[in-house]
A and B are shown apart, each in its own frame.
Chain A
Amino acid sequence: MKNYRAQTYLGFLGFFAARFFEVSTYFLVSEGIDLIDGSPDGHLGSLTIAQIVLGIVLCVLMRFLVVSFARRAIRRVGIAVSFDLRQMLYKSVLRQGPGFFAKISVGDVMTRAIQDISLIHRAIAFGLMAIVIMIFAPLFGVSAMLLKSTSLTLLIVPLLPVIFIYALRMANEMGRSSREVQERLSELSSHTQENLSGIRTIQAQVQEDNEIKRFWSTNDDYANAFYEQARITSLMSAWMPFFASVAQLIIILYGGHQVMTGQISIGDLVFFFACLGMLLQPIRMAGMLVMLLQRAAVATDRLYEIYDAEPEISDSPSGQAPPNIQGAFNLKNASYTYPGAAKPALRDINIQIVAGESIAIVGRIGSGKSTLLKLFTRMIDTPDACLYIDGHDVNDYPLSQLRQQVSQVLQDPFLFGEPLYSNISYDDPERNLELVWDAAEAASLRGSIDDFPMKMHTIVGERGVTLSGGQKQRAALARGLIRHAPVLILDDCFSSVDTETEEHILSGLKGLRAGKTTILVSHRISTLRHSDRIVVLEAGEIVEIGSHEALLSLDGAYAQLERAQTLGDEPVAVPG
């Protein structure tokens, strides 16, 4: 906002001039009428009709110019400010971690980016303009009226605050009712959507009549809300002219009397009618304006909540860490409790991972597997002195280096709405296409890509080809493999891939990852047993650790899981 001060003031000046020319126009019209009446009151000396008309045209032209200029200036300020606000928002959210998004969800950030910024935009473009008009219009209007007839002006002016207060109250009512309509509308949408998504169940359970009855109340609620909003708007459109007419009545009765007693001319009477219009216009908007400014203030607060959020993962490398990670990890009494959580997600974890080793982690949902993995890439704020990489505290490494050399494939295979090759080569869009194909091959995705008409250039996601769950996971895997990082972390990323393909990928990985550290999480014994060592987690603690054979002979939790799965409890998709 500060950056556009000059432009804003110029805009103000424009509106100031515009009001001046507007009043002048009415002035000239009133002179013209008097001239027609044959009794010029001599304010402007003896002007001919032609001169007056010329004056009117000139005033109109001037007003046309300055108003255009001023409106444009102020609206551009609104656009420029919302541009800046968006940039700030984007820069800020990019650095935020999971703690931030737990507080302000993605949907919430989107709402702020879309609605709050547009509110502020409107408040500047429309609100600022209205304020200026609200100040200048009475300023000119009232002083010009005073010039013509003090007593008549003093009779009309007390009405203005009454109208203002009414406008304010109505604006509140209107805001409330329009929110109500919005709410009912979104209720109606979600009701319809939900109902139609379940249409087969509804029909299978013979629930059609019930559902149609249930829809009636949602439907009727919306109709009522819509009517209520229309009622309030209509009330406002009835009262506003009524107030105006009261002022007109005063002009008729008192002004008419003044004309008949010769105190003012007929032209002056017409002048009063015209000025009244100019005065009332901004007051009508006043209510909306106050509300807009209030909401913009709230919006600003909400935006600053994002701007002021410090990134929870600090990036302050000591400069002592070596530039290349070898892949030896040492967890020393690592514990982690999520902010606000009662119980720690991880408790006293001690593992030493040798560079080049493959480690598998298994455990129930909520046992701390994903949390443990997040420590490695500092997707959560890893405490000091609990995780060492190649002998250096993980917090000593620059964040960019850590995340570049430790490649992590997430549980949720998120793909961007872009071509496949940009998704796989996401970290470096300029990479050679051959390398992308190699990564796809390693993730057993080559066959699927060959089936797409656009091959690697196939756009995926909402607006493109819909991939199956398994294809998505394999694309995400390819994205992780393409970097050939010294450390690879796979967070349960085979769950939608069938066992046979998984087997194929894993055996390929053995060759690719030889001598490099690989850490993976899985539920399947068939996946786990390929690793050098298996860590069994329970409620944030390590309960067993060792090779597949060692754990089986231990006859503990792992052996129990193995028995359950080989008995056929593990669901297997029917091959088709």
Chain B
Amino acid sequence: MTNKMSGNSRDHSLFDAELSGAVLNMHLLGRLVRWLKPYRLGLIVSTALVLIASYAAVVMEVLISRVLVDYIIVGKTDSPMPDMGMIELTMWVERQTGLSSLNAAGLLFFIVMVVFSLAGHWHRLTLTSAIVKGLRDLRQDLFAHMETRPSSFYDKVPVGRVMTRVTNDIEALFEMLRGVGSLIGEFVPFFVALAVMFSTSVKLTLLLLALVPVVGVATYFFRRSSREVFRRVRNSVSSLNQNLQESLSGIQVVQLSGREDKNLGEYTALNKENRRQEYRSVNLATFYGAFNDSLTAIGLGLIIWFGAGEVVQDEMTLGGVILFTRFMGMLFTPVVTLGEQLNVLFRAMASGERIFQALDWDEQIHEPVSPVTLPPRIKGKIEFRGVSFDYEVGNPILQDVSFVVMPGEKLAIVGPTGSGKSTLIKLLGRFYDFPDGMLFLDDVDINHLHSRDVRSRVGVVLQDFHIFSGTILDNILLGDPTITRDMAITAAKTVNAHGFISSLRDGYDTLLQERGTNLSQGERQLLAFARVLAADPEVLVLDEATASIDTETERLIQDGLEKLMVDRTAILIAHRLQTIQQANKILVLQSGKVIEYGTQQELLELKGLYQTLHELQFQDLKTVPN
């Protein structure tokens, strides 16, 4: 069987590698558009609204300078400054309402202001709504994608890495959204204002624009040096916190070792370093802030000085000068905001790359094109025929493994750590594709079955059995709507889990903490039994936990296991003698090969590895049972 999707040949370290992190990756933005498409109407409306709002913002200023000052107060009708139709509109309002020109202009101002506020608000809402929904869908798709990656992927890539993609990386895009919103809200008015300023006085506009690069350069240098300074501040804060965290977690060791004074000394040194770095960052930020404020004021000086000459020569009107003073602020803010948002933008680009890399990771289990359907209830016969498997090329885990488990039979698999026991049951659960050999479930090649179908027939209790946060009942049902509460309780009673569950304050409705930390190891095992019994698979596969369990619970577990195996084919990876004794047959694995197979009695008489293991483990034993 060919399987080019197999995880073995992939280089998983790529998932961890640094990505290029280009400033503006057009390809990336192009791909993002796919998720925004369903919400394009919102984006179009939003763009229209921001244009209206920006236009209104400029009109408000024109009303003050051109209409109020030049036309109404000074009485100038012709001026190089565009009035954007406002003078005519003011006269029209005067005629319609009989108001004075001043009041008519005031009324117009009020209307434009309302338009400005509403359009701005709706622009921000529609924009945010569209992008938030797009990013939400992207996150959902990413999650669904990661949820269906095979075991071969999760063997190589730590869960934490995958989690960062779904949380932090998408979050970086959300962060960018905030920035993009404010950038648009500042750049669009900037250009509209610029157009009006140019038509008022080209020379003065150019003069002021000359200041923009100064702000730009200052912003650039500030951002560059502050990146370094803030990195140091962050580092010093994190070592400070790490130190505190460690001292606290190990407080008993600290106190028992009499290390209080020494630790305080270390902490003080770190704290001082942090203070030093914080001081440096303050110096930098203060200087930059004050510098920018001052440039705005210098701009004001320029306007008065230059404007005075122009007005005297009738090149500009008084209203024009006032207009310039009012637009000053609009000139610099986009540059400053851009500086602020650049880091966010960088981060978002890098995150975007990581997100799409994850989405493009197409590793999966090879599913048959037209899967065979199993009958509603299968007999539970299992056959391994010449199965070989490796996780990495050249390091075989299973070699030519063949055996048959008849329906209802119980097989115990024993062998040293690394002999391939766990791999064996993972293949049976269809968690991996395997290149060599065949595996049959009720005489059907499992490569002809859909992996989900196999898994619903083969109930696997893994060693690192997972508890979901939720109630005990949730953990038994696992979202299966066909299981009733009563069925779950019956299952728990059968496997001896009812005892500890009913002793909990809220019984089956007790909320379990993540990873079940409020349950003991033994209780978790019983709960896993209840879960499997409720799901009622035809084949049971158990990878027994090695951790120590108190004697009483151990007895409950063994009894529960016995009941769980009734009418079921079972494969047990056993670490305890008692578990082995529950099996009909024992299979001994060593270095991926079957070396012994038979009943316990037969294997003991064989005097091979099983007998050695038996003696090693149970050397304290005074009498061998049976």
Residues of A at the B interface (CB closer than 8 Å) are 25, 29, 32-33, 35-37, 49-50, 52-53, 56-57, 59-61, 63-64, 67-68, 71-72, 75-76, 79-80, 83, 86-87, 90-91, 93-96, 101, 106, 109-110, 113-114, 185, 188-190, 192-208, 210-212, 214-216, 219-220, 222-223, 226-227, 230-231, 234-235, 237-239, 241-242, 245, 248-249, 252-253, 256-257, 259-260, 266, 269-270, 273-274, 364-365, 377, 379, 400, 403-404, 407-408, 410, 414-417, 426-427, 429, 479, 495, 523, 526, 561, 564-576
Decide: A205 and B305 in contact? CB cutoff 8 A: no
Q: Which of B250, B271, B275, B455 is within 8 Å of A203, CB to CB? A: B455
Decide: A571 and B64 in contact? CB cutoff 8 A: no
Across-interface contacts of A91 in B (CB, < 8 A): 264
- Taking CB as reference atom, which chain A residue is nearest B421? A574
Q: How far is the CB of A76 from chain B (nearest CB, A)?
A: 6
- Taking CB as reference atom, which chain A residue is nearest B467? A198
Sort A-B residue pairs by CB-CB distance and give the 7 closest, nearest first. A576-B417, A198-B466, A223-B136, A32-B304, A201-B466, A238-B121, A427-B257
- Taking CB as reference atom, which chain B residue is nearest A61? B294
B321 sits at the interface (CB 8 A):
yes
Bound state CA distance, A495 and B326, in angstroms? Answer: 76
Beyond known contacts A199-B159, A241-B120, A248-B109: 7 more, CB 8 A cutoff: A29-B300, A93-B248, A185-B171, A197-B159, A241-B116, A252-B109, A269-B69
Across-interface contacts of B357 in A (CB, < 8 A): none
Across-interface contacts of B259 in A (CB, < 8 A): 426-427
Residues of B at the A interface (CB closer than 8 Å) are 60, 63-64, 68-69, 72-74, 102-103, 105-106, 109-110, 113-114, 116-118, 120-121, 124-125, 128-129, 132-133, 135-136, 139-140, 143-144, 146-148, 151, 154, 159, 162-163, 166-167, 171, 174, 178, 181, 240-242, 244-260, 262-264, 267-268, 271-272, 274-275, 278-279, 282-283, 285-287, 289-291, 293-294, 297-298, 300-301, 304-305, 307-308, 311-312, 318, 321-322, 325-326, 414-418, 429, 431, 452, 455-456, 460, 462, 464-469, 478-479, 514-515, 531, 535, 546-551, 554-555, 575-578, 613, 616-618, 620-622, 625
Q: How far is the CB of A257 from chain B (nearest CB, A)?
A: 6
Known contacts A241-B117, A248-B109: does B613 contact A574 (CB below 8 Å)?
yes
Decide: A219 and B293 in contact? CB cutoff 8 A: no
Decide: B159 and A196 in contact? CB cutoff 8 A: yes
A-B pair number, CB within 8 angstroms: 365
Chain A interface, DSSP helix/strand/loop, else mixed = helix
Bound state CA distance, A201 and B268, in angstroms? Answer: 47
- Chain A to chain B contacts (Cβ below 8 Å), 17 pairs: A32-B304, A49-B308, A56-B301, A194-B468, A198-B466, A201-B465, A202-B147, A203-B455, A207-B479, A214-B479, A219-B136, A256-B68, A260-B102, A270-B322, A414-B250, A574-B546, A576-B418
Decide: B297 and A60 in contact? CB cutoff 8 A: yes
Across-interface contacts of B547 in A (CB, < 8 A): 571
Decide: A234 and B125 in contact? CB cutoff 8 A: yes
Decide: A113 and B136 in contact? CB cutoff 8 A: no
- Taking CB as reference atom, which chain B residue is nearest A65? B290
- Taking CB as reference atom, which chain A residue is nearest B479? A210
Q: How far is the CB of B574 from chain A (nearest CB, A)?
A: 9
Bound state CA distance, A365 and B521, in angstroms? Answer: 13
Known contacts A33-B318, A75-B282: does B124 contact A408 (CB below 8 Å)?
no
Bound state CA distance, A64 and B166, in angstroms? Answer: 45
Q: Which of B291, B465, B551 is within 8 Å of A569, CB to CB? A: B551
Across-interface contacts of A79 in B (CB, < 8 A): 275, 278-279, 282
Across-interface contacts of A110 in B (CB, < 8 A): 241, 244-245, 248
Across-interface contacts of B148 in A (CB, < 8 A): 208
Across-interface contacts of A86 in B (CB, < 8 A): 240, 271
Q: How far is the CB of B174 from chain A (nearest CB, A)?
A: 6
Across-interface contacts of B578 in A (CB, < 8 A): 568-569
Bound state CA distance, A291 and B263, in angstroms? Answer: 36
- Taking CB as reference atom, which chain B residue is nearest A49? B308
Across-interface contacts of A198 in B (CB, < 8 A): 466-468
Decide: A53 and B301 in contact? CB cutoff 8 A: yes
- Taking CB as reference atom, which chain A residue is nearest B255? A403
Decide: A90 and B264 in contact? CB cutoff 8 A: yes
Decide: A270 and B416 in contact? CB cutoff 8 A: no
Q: How far is the CB of B528 from chain A (nearest CB, A)?
A: 9
Q: Which of A189, A207, A253, A417 is within 8 Å of B106, CB to CB? A: A253
Bound state CA distance, A532 and B613, in angstroms? Answer: 32
Across-interface contacts of B240 in A (CB, < 8 A): 86
Decide: B144 and A113 in contact? CB cutoff 8 A: no
Across-interface contacts of B415 in A (CB, < 8 A): 574
Bound state CA distance, A200 and B578, in angstroms? Answer: 27
Q: Which of A400, A429, A568 is within 8 Å of B618, CB to CB? A: A568
Decide: B466 and A188 in contact? CB cutoff 8 A: no
Across-interface contacts of B283 in A (CB, < 8 A): 72
Decide: A238 and B120 in contact? CB cutoff 8 A: yes
Q: How far is the CB of B189 from chain A (nearest CB, A)?
A: 12
Bound state CA distance, A110 and B278, in angstroms? Answer: 20
Across-interface contacts of A71 in B (CB, < 8 A): 286, 289-290
| Residue of A37, A76, A86, A205 ringed by the most chain B CB atoms within 10 A | A205
Q: How far is the CB of B5 from chain A (nearest CB, A)?
A: 16
| Residue of B102, B264, B311 ringed by the most chain A CB atoms within 10 A | B102
Bound state CA distance, A188 and B495, in angstroms? Answer: 34
Across-interface contacts of B514 in A (CB, < 8 A): 190, 194
Q: How far is the CB of A71 from chain B (nearest CB, A)?
A: 5
Q: Which of A227, A379, A414, A565 is within 8 Å of B249, CB to CB? A: A414
Across-interface contacts of A245 in B (CB, < 8 A): 60, 109-110, 113, 116-117
Across-interface contacts of B106 in A (CB, < 8 A): 249, 252-253, 256
- Taking CB as reference atom, which chain B residue is nearest A242? B117
Across-interface contacts of B312 in A (CB, < 8 A): 36
Decide: B102 and A253 in contact? CB cutoff 8 A: yes
Bound state CA distance, A320 and B414, in angstroms? Answer: 62
Decide: A64 and B110 in contact? CB cutoff 8 A: no
Decide: A189 and B305 in contact? CB cutoff 8 A: no
Across-interface contacts of A222 in B (CB, < 8 A): 136
Across-interface contacts of A404 in B (CB, < 8 A): 258
Known contacts A60-B297, A90-B264, A234-B128: does B154 contact A199 (CB below 8 Å)?
yes
